[in-house]
Chain A
Amino acid sequence: TVGCTAVDKYGRCAAATSTGGLMNKINGRIGDSPLIGSGTYACRDCAVSCTGEGEAIIRATLARDVAALMEYKGMGLKEAVDCAIKEKLDKGFAGLIAVSAKGEVAYGFNTSGMFRACADEDGFMEVAIWE
């Protein structure tokens, strides 16, 4: 699975996710990626893209949950991402990346690692796999 989230200089957030699903899946299986709110979500506050165990991501409506935590509980981006990964996934395994309309970036995962990279206007850049 691959994904990207971005916020432009006008504060507009967007997210995109693409995948082949699971090896040896039953034909016709729908994963989390195309389900808006599960694997992908963007609104005025943030943009989120998820990867991992699709069925768990669907049950948790993981991407939307990050946005909802910010919208309704007033959490910051990183706090919302951590809460979604640690509290909402039940026994599922997944990871996500997110940006906020303020230009923040955050990620979280409960798997062994996640290919990821991020950058912002202030010159911050990170490329990593492991925690």
Chain B
Amino acid sequence: SKWAIAVHGGAGVDPNLPLERQGGGNAPPPCLAAGIAALQSGEPAVDAVELVVREMESDPFFNAGRGSVLTRNGTVEMEASIMDGNGRLCGAVSGVSTVKNPISLARLVMERSPHSYLAFQGAEEFARQQGVEIMDESYFITEANVSMLKLAKQANSILYDYKVPDTFGVSAVLMNGLPIAIYAPE
């Protein structure tokens, strides 16, 4: 067989996103190079996808790990899942707020627990049992996301990290009654 890899950030991007913020769309992201190198060296696909997602979780530009969006209480509740098609193994976590790389915790659920999905307090306890890297919650919270939460609260709305193309008949100016420019740039 031949190796192949694909990565994504968020679906839906503000069509007016400043060019300087579109840089990731014009050059191969470092995470892709890391994934390619892993596959070229013969590493299993499951190792490659975990490696790539870990890198993206560390980039505050994306809504995962550091830079995750905030709940209405201003807290972080992250979630992640991983699946190995070789044997259809899977692991997932929800509601983690201190785990630096939720995707790696999901993999530990897959490989070192008798379960496939742990959430909230149970996931946090499992993370500590497994010795994964723990961060203060402030590590995940960015100024941009605090500002966006304020806007969302003012509008009493959930902000999606996707945008709808004009072809679906939705105004390019407003969405859910909000200026489209305030939607998450992902």
Q: Please give the residue numbers on chain A whose beta carbons come within 8 Å of chain B beta carbons, in ascending order.
A: 1-31, 33-36, 39-47, 49, 51-53, 93-107, 109-122, 125, 127-130
Instruction: Check if A23 sits within 8 Å of B3, measured CB to CB.
Output: no
Note all chain A residues with C-beta closer than 8 A to B44: 8, 10, 12, 14
Instruction: Check if B82 sits within 8 Å of A14, measured CB to CB.
Output: yes
Note all chain A residues with C-beta closer than 8 A to B10: 1-2, 51-52, 114-115
Instruction: Check if A17 sits within 8 Å of B7, measured CB to CB.
Output: no
Instruction: Check if B95 sits within 8 Å of A114, measured CB to CB.
Output: no
Given contacts A17-B53, A18-B79, A112-B13, contact A107 B1 (CB under 8 A): no
**CA–CA, A6 and B103, complex, Å:** 15
Given contacts A6-B4, A43-B88, A112-B12, contact A18 B162 (CB under 8 A): no
| Interface band, chain B | 35 or more
Measured CB to CB, the closest approach of chain B to A13, in angstroms, equals 4
Note all chain A residues with C-beta closer than 8 A to B12: 52, 93, 95, 109, 111-114
Supplied contacts A18-B103, A127-B29, 9 more A-B pairs, CB within 8 Å: A1-B8, A20-B67, A20-B69, A23-B148, A24-B158, A27-B71, A110-B168, A118-B4, A127-B27
Chain B, range 45-80, C-beta contacts under 8 Å to A: 45-46, 48-50, 52-53, 56-57, 62-65, 67-73, 75-80
B43 within 8 A of partner (CB): yes
Note all chain A residues with C-beta closer than 8 A to B73: 27
Cross-chain contact of A5 among B6, B148, B161 (Cβ < 8 A): B6
Instruction: Check if B164 sits within 8 Å of A120, measured CB to CB.
Output: no
Measured CB to CB, the closest approach of chain B to A88, in angstroms, equals 15
Most chain A CB within a 10 A radius of its CB, from B5, B25, B68, B165: B5
Instruction: Check if B77 sits within 8 Å of A112, measured CB to CB.
Output: no
Instruction: Check if B8 sits within 8 Å of A41, measured CB to CB.
Output: no
Note all chain B residues with C-beta closer than 8 A to A45: 85
Note all chain A residues with C-beta closer than 8 A to B84: 12, 14, 42
Please report the number of residue pairs spanning A and B whose Cβ atoms sit closer than 8 angstroms.
361
Note all chain A residues with C-beta closer than 8 A to B145: 23
Cross-chain contact of B85 among A9, A14, A110, A128 (Cβ < 8 A): A14
Note all chain B residues with C-beta closer than 8 A to A28: 77, 95, 120
Chain B, range 78-121, C-beta contacts under 8 Å to A: 78-86, 88, 90, 92-95, 102-103, 106, 116-117, 119-120
Measured CB to CB, the closest approach of chain B to A112, in angstroms, equals 4
B149 within 8 A of partner (CB): yes
**CA–CA, A128 and B27, complex, Å:** 8
Cross-chain contact of B39 among A9, A16, A41 (Cβ < 8 A): A9
Measured CB to CB, the closest approach of chain A to B154, in angstroms, equals 10
Instruction: Check if A16 sits within 8 Å of B11, measured CB to CB.
Output: no
**CA–CA, A125 and B28, complex, Å:** 8
**CA–CA, A59 and B56, complex, Å:** 27
Measured CB to CB, the closest approach of chain A to B150, in angstroms, equals 10
Instruction: Check if A94 sits within 8 Å of B162, measured CB to CB.
Output: yes
